[in-house]
Amino acid sequence: MAGPTFQALPGFRDFTPRECAVRNYLFETWRDVARRCGYVEYETPVLEDTGLYLKKSGGELSSQLFRFEDQGGRDVTLRPEVTASLARIVAQHQRDFPKPLKWFEIGQCFRYEKPQKGRGREFHQFNVDILGEGGPAADAELISLAIETMLSFGFVEGDFVVRVSDRMAWIDFAAANGIAEDRIPDFLGIIDKIEREKPEVLEQKLAAFSLTPDGVRGFIADPANASAAYLAIREDLAARGFAGFIELDLSIVRGLAYYTGVVFEVFDAKKSMRAVAGGGRYDTLISTISDGAVDMPATGFAMGDYVIRNLIEETTHTAMQMEVWLQRNAAACDIYVVVADETKRAESLQLVTSLRRAGISADLPMGCPKVAKQFQSAEKSGARFALVVGAEYPVLKLKILASRTEESGTAGTAIDWLTDRLLQPDGPLLA
C-alpha cells in the first residue's frame, strides 16, 4: 500500500504528542529560568518587512530568507531570528518602560538552509536580552542566565563551557596590523570559521590581509590579549560561583556583523556538536534600525531547541531528568476512571466532572468497553491511577498503576483524598 501523499516539508517538523511534550519541557524550563532571573516576556510577529533583516545584518542572511511578496505587494520575510524584531519594538516603545529592560521571547524562526543534525529550516529560539545597560555587569548577568539555564536542564560543571571573547580585542588587532576599517567585517568572517576552514584555504584568505595562520592562532592563544571587559565579567561570574563554567576563547567572534563587543558561545565540554547557545553585545543595532532616533546599548543571546534537545538526550543524567518530567507532565490524564458497573455511568460522569473542576486531569471511556480493556486504556494514557467505580459505589477503589497496589476511599471525600494522593509517591502503601 502506498504511503501518505503529503509529508512535512524538508527541514520542517511534525510535533506528535510526545514531541509537543518535549518542546513544552524546553519552553517551561526557559520561562522558569528567565522569570527567576527577573526577565519579562514579550512577543513579536513571525512575519516582518524584509528590509528589517537586510538593514540589520547587512545582507548576511539574504540567501537564507523565506522571503515573498504578500497580497498587498509588500516584500515580507518569515523571521530568521528574533533580535531584529526586538530592536524594532524597543525603538518604538522604549519610553514606556524603565531601564534597563530585561526581556525574553520564545519564538519560531525560519531559515532556508540545508537540514542537518542540530539545524532545520524551522526552529524555536529562546531569546534573552538586556537593553539600556552598557557595562560588563550586564554581560555577566546575561551569561549567568545562560549558565542557570544549562543547570536547570540538569547539566553540571564539566558538561559544558561558556567560551567568551571580545570583538574589541580583534578591532585592536586589526588596527595594529594595518587592516582597513571597511575590511574588518571580512576579516572577522575568516576568524569566525578558523576552526572549520581547510588549512590551505585559511592560509590563502589570511594572506590577503598580510597575516599567517600561526600569527593569528598565536594571538588567540595568548591570555594577555583578554580585554578589560572579559576580566570584569570573569570576576563577576566567579563571585556567583560560576568561574568553572567560563573560559577565554578569542576564536569566538560570532558571524553577524552587528556585534560590537563581548561575545560568547555555549558548547558541550567535548565540543561534539555545534554551539548550544550564543550571543553578545550589540550596542549600535537599535540606532541602526531606528535610523538614529534611539541609541541604546544592548546585549543578548539565543538558544535554539534543536541543539539543546540533542545534548539533553545524549547526556545520561539530563535525559533522565527530562523523562521524569515527561512522565509527570505528558500523560493524557492523572486519573482514569474505570466504569466497572455501567449502572454507575452517571455517577462516574459526575465524578470526572468534579475532578476536572478541582484541577485534576481525569478521563473515562466514552463507550462501554470491558473492564480489562478500560485498564489497558488507563495504562496507554499514561495515567498514574485508575479509579474504579463499581457496584460498591460510593466506595471507590484506587489502583496505583506503577506499583500494582490499591487503596480505597469514598465519593464524598474523593476530591480531598485524590488531591492529597497525587502529591505522594506511587510506591506500595502499607495497609
Q: What string of H, E and C letters represents the secondary structure of 178-221? A: CCCHHHHHHHHHHHHCCCCCCHHHHHHHHHCCCCCHHHHHHHHH
CB atoms within 10 A of CB 407: 14
pLDDT tens-place string over residues 17-27: 999 999 999 99
**Domain 332-422, CATH 3.40.50.800 — does that match?**
yes
**Domain 17-324, CATH 3.30.930.10 — does that match?**
yes
Whether the pLDDT of residue 427 is over 80: the answer is no
Phi-psi region of 75 (alpha: psi -120 to 50; beta: other; left: phi over 0): beta
Question: Which pLDDT band, with edges at 50, 70 and 90, does 431 fall under?
Answer: very low
pLDDT tens-place string over residues 141-154: 999 999 999 999 99
Res 264: pLDDT: 96
Q: Whole-angstrom distance between the N-terminal and C-terminal Cα of the chain?
A: 55
Return d(Cα 262, Cα 229) in angstroms, integer. Answer: 7
96 residue type, one letter? D
User: How many Cα atoms within 13 Å fall on the side-chain side of residue 143?
Assistant: 33
Whether the pLDDT of residue 192 is over 90: the answer is no
CB atoms within 10 A of CB 66: 16
Res 2: pLDDT: 61
Return d(Cα 33, Cα 37) in angstroms, integer. Answer: 6
Is the link from the previous residue into 394 a cis peptide, with omega within 30 of 0?
yes
Return d(Cα 1, Cα 308) in angstroms, integer. Answer: 38
More confident: 86 or 194: 86
What does pLDDT average to over the chain?
Answer: 92
Res 244: pLDDT: 96
312 residue type, one letter? I
Res 330: pLDDT: 86
Whether the pLDDT of residue 418 is over 70: the answer is yes
Is the link from the previous residue into 100 a cis peptide, with omega within 30 of 0?
yes
Kindly list the strands in the beta sheet with 75-78, ordered across the sheet, starting from the edge strand earlier in the chain.
47-49, 75-78, 66-69
Res 430: pLDDT: 36
Return d(Cα 37, Cα 43) in angstroms, integer. Answer: 18
Res 338: pLDDT: 97
> What's the whole-number mean pLDDT along residues 231-256?
93
Yes or no: say if 118 and 131 are a contact pair by the CB < 8 Å rule: no
Res 63: pLDDT: 83
pLDDT tens-place string over residues 280-333: 999 999 999 999 999 999 999 999 999 999 999 999 999 999 999 998 888 889
CA 62 from centroid of its chain's CA atoms: 24
Q: Where are the domains of the chain?
A: 17-324, 332-422
> What's the whole-number mean pLDDT along residues 328-347?
93
Res 194: pLDDT: 86
Pairing of strands 101-110, 160-166: unpaired
> What's the whole-number mean pLDDT along residues 104-127?
93
Whether the pLDDT of residue 181 is over 90: the answer is no
Whether the pLDDT of residue 256 is over 80: the answer is no
Res 120: pLDDT: 92
